Amino acid sequence: MKRRKVDLKALPGATANAVDERFKVARPLRGILNKVFPDHWSFLLGEIALFSFIVLLLTGTFMALFFDPSMTEVKYDGSYTPLRGQEMSHAYASSLDLSFDVRGGLVVRQMHHWAALLFVAAIIVHMFRIFFTGAYRKPRETNWIIGLLLFWLAFLEGFAGYSLPDDALSGTGLRIATGIMLSIPVIGTWVTSSLFGGEFPGHVILDRLYIVHVFLIPLVLLALITIHITLVFIQKHTQWPGPGRTNSNVVGERFFPRYVMKQAGFFMLVFAVIAAMGGLFQINPIWLFGPYRAAVVSAGSQPDWYVMFLDGSTRLMPAWELTFSIAGHQYMIPGIFWPTVVLPGILTVLPMAWPFIEARKNKDKSIHNLAQRPRDVPQRTALGAMAVSFYIVLLISGGNDIIADKFHISLNAMTWAGRIGLLVIPPLAYYITHRIALGLQQHDREVLAHGVETGIIKRLPNGAFVEIHQPLAPVDDHGHPEELPYVNWTVPKKMNRLGALGPAIRGFFKPIEVPVKPQLPPAPEKEREKTSV
């Protein structure tokens, strides 16, 4: 029999050709694989969210194999002694079993929870980057809105997950959610009773939250994430301005193979960080909380960090009740309505409208593909700092009882500090950030005009001292540098940025090559020959 020869070199090409003949993928794939992505650390923050979402899907699927959301009461007889014999819902019992009796269950549960916290944290950090660099401007307004929707969906998804184990903490969270829903005028009671199938807690809420948590919201999240990333491909990624980079090109690496390889490596790193946290740090110890009972409310009951700002706004809100009557009927809007329904409403709508508000204010209809440095748009940066400080005051107030207790501060003082801080700190943050941005701009302009400080001090004949500056631009006949235009990009401010002190040393954490020791230049060849002869 004749042995068939396999030409290994032709194999990939032949395979690709076979695939293309059948599925006609060469043309679309070429576009995608050749896509160029600019390289900067701040463009990788969204990926943290994407990769933690993948970890969430993986760990969540594992847990769904063991978790049962049923609210039927059972007697616990698992291996955690301090709860044995206690009456609890089947949901809680199966969460305990998942933690103590399923091999690897606890570490997967903890990874899932850490990944959830990381998911929302990365979304927030990514959102800050987009905002402060103006990357939401035309044509990317839609993707900004989708991103905001993703945040709120992640928020709901996280809250649903927090409520599922039916421990005392998640029950308390659900109880508060009920209170918030009840505070909505006119439809509040209807919304609550239709969601809970009657009075809180009822018998159906966990089954409903379960399908919302494992199917509905993940599906919408997945769809929106796909659109979010597809839009980045279609609209191309923004890039920083710089040499060779314009509004109509992209300078960077091709999607395949380098970018894909880097992203694969980054996914491993994100997975590793989540796995390390899941294995090393205990999160949500549901066995300490015990089963949910309406009478059990622990001190230090907090939601996960991404809901904590609403807890904070609730804690700071004075107990103001609004009573009025319409057509002889008495109505009352409780204080909780403003910080938990109206505030999130504003926080949803206002950011979504922001790209259009800014474009209208600046009468700006052009397309922007270059990211802006925060210092170059001082007003936006200052507004952003204002929003961030507002958020941080609320976030800290959400944990103010823990802070008060552990740092020996009066809880009342914390609450009043939060109330006053909420009004005083954001304007201060605006002013300070605005001044810092202008100051940084000013310094850039100074260097462009006069050059880089060399650190060499010269004494003039009249006794005065001056520092010698290295001009960045060519000098005129009198030795004065020409003034360079401001280009919204990094200005070298140190002599070694200009190559004066030899090449920059490579290596991230420690130098991977020993810098050359300064030495006298060797004598020219010819001279040496002369002396040797």
Partner 1 sequence: MTRRSADAKDEGMAMTTEPGKGGGLTARMRRLAAPRRRGKVARRTGATIRMLAALVLAGGLYVAVAPATQAADAATLSRSAEDGKALFDQNCITCHGRNAQGVDGKGPSLIGVGSASVEFQVTSGRMPAARQEAQIPRKRTFWDGEELQQNAESLGQYIQELGGGPQLPANVDPSQADIAKGGELFRVNCASCHAFSAGGGALSSGKYAPTLEPATDRQIYAAMLTGPQNMPVFGDNQLSPQEKLDIIAYVQGMKSDQDPGGWGLGRFGPVTEGLAIFLVGIVALVFATLWIAGKS
Query: Pick from 497, 481, 474, 478: which is nearest to 446 by CA?
Result: 481
How far apart CA 136 and CA 428 sit, in angstroms, is 26
Cβ 307 to partner 1, closest distance in Å? 9
Cβ 239 to partner 1, closest distance in Å? 13
How far apart CA 259 and CA 232 sit, in angstroms, is 14
Task: Between 267 and 489, name the residue whose CB sits nearer to partner 1.
Answer: 267
Cβ 413 to partner 1, closest distance in Å? 8
Task: Between 120 and 385, name the residue whose CB sits nearer to partner 1.
Answer: 120
How far apart CA 377 and CA 361 sit, in angstroms, is 14
Q: Which residues of 290-314 are buried (b: 16+ CB within 10 A; e: fewer)?
A: bbbeeeeeeeebbbbbbbbbbbbbb
Task: Between 293 and 443, name the residue whose CB sits nearer to partner 1.
Answer: 293
At residue 147's C-alpha, the angle toward residues 145 and 153, to 5°, is 105
Query: Pick from 457, 474, 475: which is nearest to 466 by CA?
Result: 457
Beta bridge mates, 333? 322
Task: Between 93 and 472, name the residue whose CB sits nearer to partner 1.
Answer: 93
Cβ 202 to partner 1, closest distance in Å? 22
Beta carbons within 10 angstroms of residue 361's beta carbon = 9
Cβ 525 to partner 1, closest distance in Å? 38
What is the 3-state secondary structure of 50-64? HHHHHHHHHHHHHHH
How far apart CA 157 and CA 149 sit, in angstroms, is 12
How far apart CA 464 and CA 337 sit, in angstroms, is 68
Task: Between 83 and 160, name the residue whose CB sits nearer to partner 1.
Answer: 83
Task: Between 350 and 402, name the residue whose CB sits nearer to partner 1.
Answer: 402
Task: Between 294 and 420, name the residue whose CB sits nearer to partner 1.
Answer: 294
Beta carbons within 10 angstroms of residue 169's beta carbon = 25
How far apart CA 77 and CA 187 sit, in angstroms, is 42
Task: Between 82 and 328, name the residue whose CB sits nearer to partner 1.
Answer: 82
Cβ 476 to partner 1, closest distance in Å? 38
The 8-class DSSP code of residue 77 comes to -
